[in-house]
Structure 1
Amino acid sequence: MSNRREFMNTVVGAMLGSAAVVTAHEKINSTAPKSLRTLIIGGTGFAGSHQVHAAVARGHKVTVFSRGEKKMDLPAEVEILAGDRYKDLNLIADRDWDAIIDFAAFAPLGVRTLGQALKGRVKHYTLISTVMTYTRAAGNVDESSAVMEHTDSVDPYTVQKISGWRQYGSFNVLCEREAQTQFPQKTLVVRPGVITGPGDSVDHIAYWFARMERGGEIVAPGDPLAPVQFIDARDLAQWVVRMVERSETGVYNAVGPVMSMGMCELLGAVRSLFSTPMRLTWVPSQWLIEQKLRADEVPFFWVKDPQLAERDELWLSYKVSSAKAHAKSLTYRPLATTLSDNLKWYRTLPPERQAAPRSGWKTELEQNVLTAWHVYCMKGQ
């Protein structure tokens, strides 16, 4: 910055921006003008439970319909119905619903049977889909970008459980289309990417907590400036509730942060939470690919070139635009808040669970990668 005045303007602007974020979240947590009879399908999982809390905080009457396999801490006033969406729709079919928020539609049959069972009883339907609906492209992505088409020989309407990441994307596309058929002019489709925050049992970011707490030399995969995107489950939930209250329809991406963030910025922010001596060793993507590493063996946010990723390999774009959602008041809490809250939750887990994160490098594999990388560098190749 060229002078002190520019510096002060920048600092004050940042402070005002933070205040605006806080004010937005305070408004979000106020009571809605009207209480909605809200059915949340799959509301006992990580993101779904945050959705339940957000809806209750706004004063809505919430019923959760799930298989009951996960026990989450839900508000006492929430009605919980345990059942299978393919077999037990009778539990919800005899009621009228102002809103349904569906976290558990992974095959189009589930959306079709739901629509048929509740025909004429639903005022608004929200499908939580995924950015994995988009085709594997290296460029920027928005809601008009091409989506994956179902090309397998299997009839998708005979499938209840999907298999493989490619099917995950194409089946979500079919779910979106079926939703528009079953709930015409009443459907909101939300496409998030990586969802994190307290309770993130996949350990999208918590892997780095466990690894940096150990310290030492740490493999950081890929380009330090490669973009990363994710959204705090609480920000997603609060925004979805407001969209439902306004009966918004259409397709919206919901990823963050609002400004571009590089992998080095994320890891730097995580690193600031620890005092353990550590050193990040950045290993280029091309070399990692030459070692035949799959995306699910490497920490989240590492991305292969779309042409090099295997057909059924996990692949996410981190160049997704949420400008359309921003225009509808999607806001984000500060990164420091998301990380510190996530770390607080992670430290409540049993020690053996903390020591074995569910994503990221396995200890032996990381050490092998480090050794091979140093040998490669010493050879000067």
Structure 2
Amino acid sequence: MRILVLGGTAFLSAEIARQAVAAGHDVTCFARGTSANPPDGATWVRGERTLGAAAYAQVAHGWDAVVDVSRDPVQARDALEALGAVTEHWTFVSSCSVYADHSLPGADESAALLESLPEGQAGSPETYGESKSAIEHMTLGLVGEKAHIVRSGLIGGPGDGTDRYGYWPARFAANTGTVLVPDIPAAATQIIDVRDLASWILRSAERRLVGTYNALGDVVRFGDYITESRRIAGALEDEVVLPSEDWLVAQGVDYWAGPDSLPLWLPPGHDGFQARSNRAARDAGMTLRPWQETLSATLEDERMRGLDRERKAGLSRGTEQRLVALWREMQR
């Protein structure tokens, strides 16, 4: 197949391009390339999506499949208008952040969505869900009969730049003897390996699969994830300090992601955020490797990148030590 990846230089889009090349497809990546180059074997067309529909002049010819991971509705519409008519199959990688309610575990693709960002308004980090919702709406409106909408959840595995899924195995692997963990053993985690997601997107394009699907991993209890992180890191003898959620909030620790956060810990009302149904995608051919394999590969990648590097998510070592001391003092 002749495949155009709008991107192809970062994490998921790069993995899609890499797997497509390995499968023998003719792959073109349309990207600026400011942070990385496309995978070897792919044709690189340098392009700047902020220039509008005219930016696609070099690639505005027949494609068997286009894959777009955009989060900006303006740029997504430009691509759809420039390439939709000359493409046989269109994949848009959306997000489960499009859903309006994250409280109900097991919800499927029929759940209500956030209101779309107004027409012509550019996306921002603060309007991520609304932006993805808007792109879904315009994709279905412009190329709906050939559209595959992929609502991904948290993506993990080697190369993850968000530092969320890898925080815990890397933290235990640092061998400091004490690790602060939120006391939420029964909470749900739901991560899909980037390699599995890319594989399903590619195989779906080969099959011309259309429709909207939650592309998610299976649910794993946070306690099981922590236990396995300790095991593969060789840290089963380390002390685990388990402060309450209320105490962590009172100390200014953030949920989920970002500096001074505890990754994968969610605020109240988000019981379904990492516990949505992936049955439809499973029935449509999505396959998942064991989550323990993803975790091991993630730790290997973390070791290569440096266990003590500055991270985008998680507690700094100094902050963690301060919190451990405070919690112990309170327990006396």
Whole-angstrom distance in 1 between the partners of 2:201 and 2:7: 15
Query: Where does residue 185 of structure 1 map in the other structure?
Result: 145
Query: Where does residue 176 of structure 1 map in the other structure?
Result: 136
Q: Deviations over 1:47-87 (max 9, x none)?
A: 11111122122221110111211225613x21011211232
Residues 1:217 and 2:181 aligned together:
no
Higher CA-based Rg: 1
Whole-angstrom distance in 2 between the partners of 1:86 and 1:316: 35
TM-score, normalised via structure 2 length: 0.90
Q: Deviations over 1:196-233 (max 9, x none)?
A: 11111222222223311233221112411101010110
Residues 249-268 of structure 1: pairs in structure 2 closer than 5 A: 249-257=210-218, 260-268=219-227
Question: SS at 2:180's partner residue?
Answer: strand
Question: Gaps (5+ residues) in structure 2?
Answer: none
Higher strand share: 2
On the 8 A contact 2:102/2:272 being kept in 1, the answer is no
Choose the corresponding residue for 1:273, options 210, 213, 232.
232
Compute the displacement of 1:246 (Å).
Answer: 1.3
Whole-angstrom distance in 1 between the partners of 2:195 and 2:169: 20
Compute the displacement of 1:37 (Å).
Answer: 0.7
Residues 1:204 and 2:169 aligned together:
no
On the 8 A contact 2:217/2:278 being kept in 1, the answer is yes
On the 8 A contact 1:216/1:278 being kept in 2, the answer is yes
Whole-angstrom distance in 1 between the partners of 2:263 and 2:66: 31
Query: Where does residue 262 of structure 2 map in the other structure?
Result: 299
Whole-angstrom distance in 1 between the partners of 2:24 and 2:308: 35
On the 8 A contact 1:299/1:359 being kept in 2, the answer is yes
Whole-angstrom distance in 1 between the partners of 2:29 and 2:308: 29
Query: Where does residue 157 of structure 1 map in the other structure?
Result: 120
Query: Where does residue 195 of structure 1 map in the other structure?
Result: 155
State the percentage of identical aligned residues: 28
Q: Deviations over 1:218-261 (max 9, x none)?
A: 1112411101010110000111111111111111111112xx31
Whole-angstrom distance in 1 between the partners of 2:101 and 2:115: 12
Question: Gaps (5+ residues) in structure 1?
Answer: 1-35, 308-314
Whole-angstrom distance in 1 between the partners of 2:291 and 2:144: 37
State the one-letter code of the partner of 1:318. Answer: Q
Compute the displacement of 1:346 (Å).
Answer: 2.5
Distance verdict in 2 for CA 1:96–1:357, change over 3 Å: same
Question: SS at 1:364's partner residue?
Answer: helix
Whole-angstrom distance in 1 between the partners of 2:253 and 2:100: 22
State the one-letter code of the partner of 1:194. Answer: L
Distance verdict in 2 for CA 1:248–1:129, change over 3 Å: same
Query: Where does residue 49 of structure 2 map in the other structure?
Result: 85
State the one-letter code of the partner of 2:231. Answer: S
Q: Deviations over 1:282-323 (max 9, x none)?
A: 22223323334322332321000138xxxxxxx981111100
Residues 1:288 and 2:252 aligned together:
no
Whole-angstrom distance in 1 between the partners of 2:225 and 2:95: 22
Whole-angstrom distance in 1 between the partners of 2:45 and 2:328: 55
Choose the corresponding residue for 2:206, options 245, 263, 269.
245
Query: Where does residue 288 of structure 2 map in the other structure?
Result: 332
State the one-letter code of the partner of 1:328. Answer: A
On the 8 A contact 1:222/1:302 being kept in 2, the answer is no
Whole-angstrom distance in 2 between the partners of 1:291 and 1:364: 14
On the 8 A contact 2:170/2:299 being kept in 1, the answer is no
Aligned length: 323
Question: SS at 1:144's partner residue?
Answer: coil
Q: Deviations over 1:21-57 (max 9, x none)?
A: xxxxxxxxxxxxxxx1100111110111111122122
Choose the corresponding residue for 1:320, options 276, 287, 292.
276
